[in-house]
């Protein structure tokens, strides 16, 4: 970081603490909410979400050959293949906007094109099958269908737009991957794929949320989640020790630690800021919730845009966006802004943006955020007028 940027950050922090109404009850509540959100985030999302994601990202860096990533997700791969793989991968993982970050960083560092990588970045938290089903059940079939169609379409559109906008930058970047050096990945693809499958299976089942009903397929799946998760992690530990040398395992641990150092500090800072400004679901931060409810009523361009902005900066844990929207709709929120928030919220958050910037840089991150916000706004306007 340059000295000018450090000076700007110090100045912003000084102005914030200088002008904050410290004696105000709302400021006290907001500070409490910030700590409460970080406490909740640490207990619910770090050990079972982020830690497995760090190990998966490290495995991508060490066990998956660069050629394989380039073949399926490189900028010169067939678009029908690369975007399908990116979207399907996101659907299978069904992670939140923060857990997807180390996975995104892993495939991007390994040579994935900016387009497929961006599609994966959006699809991971947005195309969540269980969340879409819950949306349809709680908010209505039309809203669930609109969310599903919008999320799938957006992942492709955003990826294509990023690849076109940054075509020249991407061509220069891909030159470094044109003749990849030997990366030490000499294992058969099925061995690497088996390791990845074991870890992904653990990530999915360990974080499987409780279904609303006690009967049905999802309830049965939930009842065996820890059995499957235990089998998955045991299988991974066994094959890692059997197939990979101590040197390879050490390299994997080192890569995992590197991703943790890159992601965690910014995530924690972002969660604190988001909690202070907007509070947790059902609680208020420094910004009164009544203002938000008032500003997202109706179906104007502004209300849809504002809903997209709020969704983009607020942190949503997986599935929490549905009950939040249920409450906002009851308070007078329009159906268009509700969809806009559903499409922008799960895919973005302030912590998410801070980390994306370290991977893509400021210009690409701002472009990605703008694309998500504008597309969500447009979808909200269209849906609200149907």
pLDDT tens for 207-241 read 777 776 777 787 888 889 999 999 999 999 999 99
Q: What is the chain's Cα-based Rg? A: 21
Q: What's the mean pLDDT in 33-59?
A: 83
Structure token digits, residue 22: 């410290």
State the pLDDT at residue 346: 81
> With bands split at pLDDT 50, 70 and 90, how would you rate the model's confidence at 281?
low
- Structure-model confidence comparison of residues 44 and 177, the more confident one: 44
Q: Is residue 197 predicted with pLDDT exceeding 60?
A: yes
φ/ψ of 46, rounded to 5, equals -85, -55
Give residue 343's pLDDT. 92
> What pLDDT was estimated at residue 233?
94
Question: Residue 185: inside a domain, yes or no?
Answer: no
Section 345-369 average pLDDT:
90
Check residue 308 and give its pLDDT.
93
Query: Please, which pLDDT band fits residue 270 given cuts at 50, 70 and 90?
Result: confident
Query: Is 190 inside a domain boundary?
Result: no
The stretch 339-363 carries a mean pLDDT of 89
For residue 183, tell me if it sits in a domain.
no
User: Which tens digit of pLDDT belongs to each residue from 304-339?
Assistant: 999 999 888 887 766 667 767 776 776 678 889 999
The number of distinct structural domains making up the chain is 1
Q: What is the pTM of this model?
A: 0.73
Strand partners, 254: none
Between 323 and 255, whose confidence is greater? Answer: 255
Instruction: State the Cα–Cα distance between residues 347 and 84, nearest whole angstrom.
Output: 18
Q: Does residue 8 form part of some domain?
A: no
Say which DSSP state 77 is in.
Answer: S
Structural domain contains residue 216: no
- Structural domain contains residue 5: no
Going from the C-alpha of 53 to that of each of 92, 141, 230, 282, the distances in angstroms are 14, 32, 16, 28
88-93 contacts at long range (C-beta below 8 A, 24 or more positions apart): 89/120, 89/123, 89/124, 90/119, 90/120, 90/122, 90/123, 90/124, 90/125, 90/126, 90/127, 90/155, 91/123, 91/127, 91/128, 91/129, 92/200, 92/204, 93/124, 93/200, 93/203, 93/204
Cα–Cα distance measured from residue 120 to residue 77, given in angstroms and rounded to the nearest whole number: 15
Q: For residue 285, is pLDDT > 90?
A: no
Residue 36: how many other CB atoms lie within 10 Å: 15
In this predicted model, what pLDDT tens digit does every residue of 148-176 receive, in sequence order?
A: 899 889 999 999 999 999 998 888 887 76
| Residue 34 belongs to some domain of the structure | no
Q: What is the pLDDT of residue 356?
A: 92
Indicate the range of 6-10, 48-52, 179-183, 349-353 predicted with least confidence.
179-183
pLDDT at 69 over 90: no
What does the pLDDT read at residue 166? 93
Q: What's the pLDDT at 261? A: 86
User: Of the given ranges (153-157, 203-207, 250-254, 352-356), which has the lowest mean pLDDT?
Assistant: 203-207
Residues of the domain holding 125:
39-174+244-385
Angle at 210 between CA 207 and CA 214, to 5 degrees: 150
| % of residues, the chain, pLDDT over 90 | 21
| Residues above pLDDT 70, as percent of the chain | 90
pLDDT tens track for 74-125:
777 788 888 888 877 766 666 677 778 888 888 888 888 899 989 988 987 8
Predicted local distance difference test score (pLDDT) of residue 1: 60
- Taken in order 185, 190, 196, 199, is the CA torsion positive or negative? negative
pLDDT at 382: 94
Mean pLDDT, rounded, of the chain: 83
Check residues 330 and 286 and name the one with the higher pLDDT.
286
Domain presence at residue 317? yes
């Amino acid at each position: 970081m340059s000295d000018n940027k450090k000076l700007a950050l110090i100045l912003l922090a000084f102005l914030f603490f200088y002008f904050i109404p410290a004696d105000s009850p709302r400021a006290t509540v907001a500070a409490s909410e910030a700590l409460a959100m970080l406490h909740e985030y640490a207990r619910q999302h770090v050990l079972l979400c982020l830690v497995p994601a760090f190990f998966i990202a490290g495995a991508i860096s060490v066990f998956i050959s660069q050629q394989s990533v380039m073949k399926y997700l490189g900028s010169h791969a067939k678009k029908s293949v690369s975007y399908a793989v990116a979207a399907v991968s996101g659907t299978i993982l069904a992670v939140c906007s923060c857990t997807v970050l180390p996975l995104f960083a892993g495939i991007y560092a390994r040579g994935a094109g900016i387009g497929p990588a961006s599609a994966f970045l959006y699809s991971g938290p947005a195309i969540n099958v269980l969340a879409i089903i819950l949306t349809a059940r709680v908010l209505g079939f039309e809203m669930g269908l609109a969310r599903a169609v919008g999320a799938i379409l957006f992942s492709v559109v955003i990826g294509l737009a990023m690849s076109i906008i940054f075509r020249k930058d991407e061509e220069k970047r891909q030159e470094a991957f044109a003749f990849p050096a030997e990366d030490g990945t000499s294992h058969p693809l099925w061995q690497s794929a088996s390791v990845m499958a074991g870890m992904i299976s653990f990530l999915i089942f360990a974080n499987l949320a409780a279904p609303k009903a006690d009967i049905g397929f999802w309830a049965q799946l939930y009842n065996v989640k820890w059995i499957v998760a235990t089998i998955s992690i045991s299988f991974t530990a066994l094959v890692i020790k059997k197939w990979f040398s101590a040197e390879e395992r050490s390299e994997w641990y080192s890569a995992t630690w590197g991703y943790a150092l890159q992601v965690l500090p910014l995530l924690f800072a972002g969660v604190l800021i988001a909690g202070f400004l907007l509070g947790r679901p059902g609680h208020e931060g420094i910004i009164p919730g009544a203002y938000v409810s008032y500003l997202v009523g109706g179906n104007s361009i502004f209300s849809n845009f504002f809903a997209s902005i709020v969704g983009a900066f607020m942190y949503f844990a997986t599935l929490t966006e549905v009950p939040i929207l249920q409450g906002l709709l009851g308070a007078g929120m329009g159906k268009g802004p509700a969809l806009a928030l559903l499409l922008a919220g799960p895919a973005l958050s302030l912590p998410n943006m801070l980390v994306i910037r370290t991977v893509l840089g400021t210009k690409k991150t701002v472009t990605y955020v703008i694309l998500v916000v504008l597309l969500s706004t447009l979808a909200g306007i269209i849906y609200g007028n149907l």
